[in-house]
Structures are given as structure tokens and as C-alpha cells.
A and B are shown apart, each in its own frame.
Chain A
Amino acid sequence: MNETPLRELIPAVTGVLVRRGADFATAEDAVQEALIRALASWPTDPPADPKGWLITVAWRRFLDVTRAESARQAREARVEAEPQPGPATDTDDTLQLYFLCAHPSLTPGSAVALTLRAVGGLTTRQIADAYMVPEATMAQRISRAKRTVSGVRFDEPGNLATVLRVLYLVFNEGYSGEVDLAEEAIRLTRQLTSMTDGEEAAGLHALMLLHHARRAARMTPEGALVPLAEQDRTRWDSELIAEGVAILQIALAHDRLGEYQAQAAIAALHADAQTAEETDWAQIVEWYDELDRLTDNPVVRLNRAVAVGEAVGPHAGLAALEQVDAAVPRRTAVEAYLRERTGDLALAARLYSDAARTASNLAERDHLTRQAARLHDVPRVLREKELRHR
């Protein structure tokens, strides 16, 4: 069964329960229960009205739970006494859920888990699987997150910046479990942009599409990292690129630049180049300058040094690198690359080895180890060549 249409209904169903007077935490649990039942029964017995089915099952579940907790009458009296919220649409409810699940009081990890469950409609087991932790741990992480936001009013104005940060994390740091988190992040961001007119939401959407377009070319079938310059660009998804560029252009036209739009612009410039040599590095450097002004992020300055290295030359790149703190991850890898281009192969080989030792992810470490091995191998290759020439 394609679970996406079912998942899309989840936030609206939670919204209906909350508007009937249920508290968010209990309502969300009841909807999760209904979701699990739907996943079990819909493949063989699909309902005529899926949303109505979910509301009925979730509401019944909510009443069962609250009845067990306290006398039903007391509960109903309380619900009765609460002022009924004004008319609301599914869109309002869903948008409020985005805000609530990415509330600034939550840590990033909790906000990611809660968003995937309450907005994404994933089961706890699927989220646990995606982040490689036991289901019991993920269940606790989610219920703690719900306790943290229990005092937040459902209709409180939200913070779009934290929502975007959470969606970016889901896209960027997902593992490949049963659910494709990159696809899920794109779906949730697309849905968000349909409910808000923020340029940065559009910028993030474009950024995701432009990076996702390269996914097939980013790794070899064996899982080895392929650097951007060496990727087979015919394997980039041109439809996703076109969609990403179109979304970005509309966002940029509003002239309210933000970090996601600037990052997307850089990705778009890469996407635009038919070959690595055609890349407009000068313009990419300008976008990094914009990004640097917007974020004050040392990683941006590191990536800028790479771009300067390509636009001007490796010595200029190394000069730009001097302004990057030595503790910034991947700095040594960048220096290795630039040193190799200046012709200092011995130093480059040593730096690649150092960078491999401190790499934080496996694919990058293996890639850097191969680079070091390639350069350490140069003297032997040269010697053999020399022998053949004699």
C-alpha cells in the first residue's frame, strides 16, 4: 500500500480532535493508534471515507483512554466548559502542528521525532528504524517532547525558522531505513509552502529538490562517495532541477533573501553547469559572500574558500582558508585538495590522511583515505613510468 495519502491525512485528523477539546498529547496518541490500525486493515479493507474513518477510530480511542483515566462525565464536563475555538480549516490545523512540533523549547532531535510522527504521519517504529534507535527509546523521546510543549496553546503564532531548521535536519541527516526521509522531508516542505508564502520555505524546498536531483550520481553502487566534479551529470534528475530552479526564481523575485534561498542559488548554479568545467565559480563566490553576511557560519567560509580556489586559483583558495578556524570540520580535507592543486603532493597526501582520521562520516572517511592512498602512490607510479621510459 502507498502510505503517503494516509499520512497526508494525519495532521488534519489530530486537528479535528484538538478542536473537539482533546489535549494535543492524548489526541496525537489516539491518532497514532488509528494510523497503526489503518496500516493493518486498509490494504484488504479500504474505507470509503478514509478521513472519516480515521476521525471515528481516533476519537473512539481518545474517549477510551480518557474514560480509563477519569470518569467520563468529568471529562465531558471539562470539554463542555472549554470555549469552542472558532471555525478552522485543515490547513490551519496542519500549519499549527508544524509550529507546535518544532517549537523553540524543543531540542532539535525531539522536534524532528515529533514532527515526523504528528505532521508526517510516520509510526514510532518507522521513526526509530530511520534513526537506528530502539522503538522504546523513540517512544520516550516523543512523549517527552509532547510534555515539553504541553503548555503551548495550539493556536499560538509559530516560528517558521525553527520549522525550516527541523525539515532541513530531516532532509540532511536521514538514514536510509524503511521510509525515505529525504523524500519525506521534501513532501513536508512542499506541503508547508502550500500553506505559507514565506520565501525561505520556498528556498528550502528548492534547495532540497536541487540536492535530491543529484542523489543517484552522488554514490557509486558500492556506496563510495563521488565528488561533485566527478559526478555523471547525465544521471542528475533534470525534472527535479527544473522544478527547484522555478521555485527558487519565484522566491528570489520577492527580494527578501535568506540563507536557504542563497544555498539553493548555489545548488542551482552547479545544476546549471553541463560539465564541472562550465561551473560559474565567480558567481558562486558571490553567493557565498551573501550567505556569509546572512549566517556568520564558519562552514560557509570554508565552502567559500573552495569556491575561491576554483574561481581564482588554489593559492587564493588557501588564502581564503586562513580565515577559517582550524577546528571547523572538513577544513583539513579542503586544505589537502587545494595543496594538491598547487602541486605540493607530499603535503596534500599527509593532510588527506589527517582529514580521514577526523572525518565524521564513513563515506567521507573512505573517500579521503582513497585520496591519501592515491597521492602516496604517486612516487611509485612516477618511478614505474621512469623505468618504462628507459
Chain B
Amino acid sequence: MAKYLLLKHYRGGPTPVVEFEPLDRWAPDKVDAHIQYMHDFAAKLEGTGEFVDGQALSPEGTFVRYDGEDRPPVTDGPFAETKDVIAGWMVIDVETYERAVELAGELSAAPGPDGKPIYEWLELRPFLTEAPAVTE
């Protein structure tokens, strides 16, 4: 089995196939349907024994860095218009890369403001594994 990260971006990645208003401008029932789709997808994967984790992130983040000894860390941001904003992620544990692509494609079909799939780009990243015991 191999673990993959499905990364959902608010912005960034390839050019969207369909342009949408942000979620907070949708009709409330369409927002509910979109969120329900995510929940159902996670529940389905738990049922197939492929779900590992799923989390949503606040779009507003802070940049933090070390600023030398005996000094507090420096913070910067939040920035309203950064190029790439990560909305959340899901971690799956699947038999093959093909299965990971299939599931990402399914998650990308979540319903949009018109109730139809949003064709959203999801980023698929493999986790690095432990080193195998047999090497030659």
C-alpha cells in the first residue's frame, strides 16, 4: 500500500476549467451539498479501508521565522493575495498510483454553485516511505 496526499488549493495550480465565485458567495444549500460531498467521500474511503486523514485549513496563515538568538520569532502576513493557498488535504492509503488518481478525480467532482461538478484541480503527492529491508 502507498500513502498519497490529496491537496486542495483555493488558488494556484493549473488554470481552472470552470471559474467560480468563492464558496461564501454560493447559495447556502449548494455550500451544504459541497461540504456533504467531502464528508461522504471521506466516509466512503473509511469503508474501503483507504482513509488516513483529512483536515481543512483556514485560508489566512502567518509566516514565521527564526530571528537570531534571544530574539522572538518574526511573523509576517497574513497576505490577502498570495499566489497559492492550500485549503485542506486528505491522506489516502491505496494499493496503486492508478487508484490514487481515480480517487482524486472523484473528489474533484464535488458539486459547485450550480450543483454540477466543479472540475477542480487537486494536487496528488506520494509520501516518502520507510526504507525497504531487502536492498539487493
Q: A interface vs B, CB < 8 Å? A: 107-110, 112-113, 131-134, 136-138, 140-142, 144, 171-176, 182, 207, 211-212, 215, 218-219, 225, 228, 263, 266-267, 270, 303, 306, 359-365
Contacts and interface: CB of A to CB of B under 8 A. Distances in A.
Given A137-B50, A270-B136, A131 B1 contact: yes
A173 B95 CA distance: 13
A134 B91 CA distance: 11
Contacts, number: 88
Contact of A360 (B48, B95, B126): B126
A211 B134 contact: yes
A172 B93 contact: no
B46 A109 contact: no
Contacts of A266: 136
Given A107-B95, A108-B95, A140 B48 contact: yes
A110 B49 contact: yes
B62 interface: no
Interface of B: 1, 3, 45-53, 93, 95, 126, 128-136
Contacts of B1: 108-109, 112, 131
A125 B136 CA distance: 32
Nearest to A138: B49
Contacts of A171: 133-134
A365 B131 CA distance: 10
Given A137-B46, A140-B46, A306-B136, A359 B93 contact: no
A173 B129 contact: yes
Nearest to B131: A363
B57 to A, nearest CB: 20
A228 B135 CA distance: 9
A295 B133 CA distance: 20
Contacts of A225: 131
A140 B47 contact: yes
Contacts of B133: 171-172, 174, 182, 211-212, 215
Nearest to B2: A360
Q: Provide the main secondary structure of the chain A interface.
A: helix
Nearest to A140: B49
B34 to A, nearest CB: 24
A131 B47 CA distance: 17
Contact of B130 (A136, A137, A363): A363
A131 B93 contact: yes
B128 A365 contact: yes
Nearest to A107: B95
B128 A359 contact: yes
Nearest to B47: A140
Given A109-B1, A140-B46, A266-B136, A134 B52 contact: yes
B128 A361 contact: yes
Contacts of B45: 137
A133 B93 contact: yes
A132 B126 contact: no
A303 B136 contact: yes
A361 B129 contact: yes
Contacts of A174: 130, 133
Contact of A144 (B49, B52, B53): B49
Closest 4 CB pairs of A and B: A141-B49, A109-B1, A363-B131, A362-B128
8 contacts: A109-B1, A144-B47, A172-B134, A175-B130, A211-B134, A225-B131, A228-B135, A270-B136
Given A110-B49, A137-B50, A140-B46, A361 B93 contact: no
A203 to B, nearest CB: 13
A160 B101 CA distance: 32
